[in-house]
Amino acid sequence: MSDEQPAVERQDFIRDIVRDDLASGRHREVVTRFPPEPNGYLHIGHVKSIALNFGIAEEFGGRCHLRFDDTNPVKEEHEYIEAIKEDVRWLGFDWGAHLYHASDYFEQLYEWAEHLIRSGLAYVDDQSADEIRAQRGTLTEPGAASPWRERGSDENLVLFRAMRAGEFADGARVLRAKIDMAAGNINLRDPVLYRILHASHPRTGDRWCIYPTYDYAHGQSDAIEHITHSLCTLEFEDHRPLYEWLVEHLPVPSRPRQIEFARLNLASTVLSKRRLLRLVAEGRVSGWDDPRMPTICGIRRRGYPPAALRDFALRVGVAKRNSVVDPALLEHAVRTELNRTAARRMGVLEPLKVVIENYPEGASEELEAVNNPEDPGAGSRRVPFARELFIEAGDFMEEPPPKFYRLAPGREVRLRYAYLITCREVVKDPSGAIVELRCSYDPATRGGDAPDGRKVKATLHWVSAAHAVGAEVRLYEPLFTRPDPGAERDWVEDLNPASLRVVSEARLEPSVAELAAGERLQLERLGYFCLDPDSRPGRPVLNRTVTLRDTWAKVRDRG
């Protein structure tokens, strides 16, 4: 990992299994793997699996492989492979020399399939996919045997080799394991091991026209790589008996153990690759890396730091029961990390002009501002101050209600790092809209404190009008209006029409223009932001990562 984590012995049922296996001598080293299918971009749900697999390997002095499950050439693209590698590296993990693909093992998998045929444990079935599905049975009724189930091994070998040679059309035949059509676990009712698919593979080209199923390729790939602990989410629990049956009946070089854990489910979030693809294809978002998307590339663009995602995965923990996590916990982890690391800057989203009438015209000065009060080593910067400023329009009210302590006619407030000012006059346009405030300042209060000890109840952020940089700021809200999108209607109807608001006339202190795309900062009193790749010289584009308000901390403290 790129960032050091505290040396804490973490406890959960998987780590307990690993400790016991090492203590008993069952394994001398720990080898895990993260096996994504390259048919889309990774999302926040994958972070838990990545952190678990790589984290356990690191904690126990082992290694974690990155293996692409590229057994379906129709849905796979090289673009996804490169994006997945980038995401895993960005999260802080490294597979070193251990990058593999299921397609690396196609020849070996084929030879083992012939071994099953010769052992009488697999047969070629001429039925269509619909016919096989209809004969599978139900949870309470056994399945029906295929009329081709008792074919002899010699005939099956001839047919299977003909399948490989491309002599049959897609779907004309499949290879099935011969297990038990009356098994209580439907996955053991003669599952399909190979199907015919005349499609070019991104890595093997047109060399193959039959491809192994995930259930067949996965366990055997684990065995080839000497994986010790094959960590899967709970939906694979019912597949474990098949995983173990194949390992038992094939001459594999090792015996990996499959262990299941609960996947990450996040409220108000869609984590189905199929649904995420629909959002992109229908133009409901700007792409896979739209900052509203739960994809890793999307939340990276939004400004989530990788350390916060790793911390979030640890906070969620490892369990055997599915649950739904409040997104506030994720945002809490992000705020905690950014509060520690993000540089502070000032900016105004809805500028209201302030003219300090008793400040010399044409004059300006530089004031010292702290870069990060949580990090003394971050130092300070110089912020320009002049006669004309911008403050946030929401920080002024002409007729303030009780408990509104910010600027109002005749009221004195503090400008952050600067002076105490008092509003003397409100200037309006012909429509009655406030366009300018005329104020005075106390030159003796440089730095924000009055020498006579008088107190003010509000401190405002600001920028110098002459020095400020114009910027576009993108404010994000949850992509869905419900915690369970699609529970009562088509899930796209639960999309939030206000998930993005663009502020095109924001003003920022000039030092923001020096930041590079991807850098994170806090705009004081406004939230945490990240420089978007759309930024141009002199025209920053900021994505709001999270607001300053931490709802999870309040819930936690009440609990």
Which residue from 473, 528, 472 is spatially nearest to 343, judged by alpha carbons? 528
Integer angstrom CA distances of residue 398 from 27, 221, 433: 73, 70, 11
Burial of 318 (0-12, 13-18, 19+ CB in 10 A): buried
Query: Is residue 85 flagged as an active site residue?
Result: no
- 96 in the Ramachandran plot: left (φ > 0), alpha (ψ -120 to 50) or beta? left
Burial of 465 (0-12, 13-18, 19+ CB in 10 A): middle
Which residue is catalytic, options 19, 37, 438, 446? 37
235 phi/psi in degrees, rounded to 5: -65, -15
Q: Are 543 and 530 in contact (CB under 8 A)?
A: yes
SS3 string, 409-461, reads ECCEEEECCCCEEEEEEEEECCCCCEEEEEEEECHHHCCCCCCCCCCCCCEEC
Element housing 471 (H / E): strand 469-476
Rg (CA), the chain: 31
Which residue is catalytic, options 75, 136, 255, 263? 263
Query: Is residue 273 flagged as an active site residue?
Result: yes
Q: Are 35 and 100 in contact (CB under 8 A)?
A: no
Which residue is catalytic, options 63, 67, 164, 273? 273
Where helices occur in 225-291 by DSSP H, the ranges are 240-249, 273-281
> Which active-site residues does the annotation give?
37, 263, 273
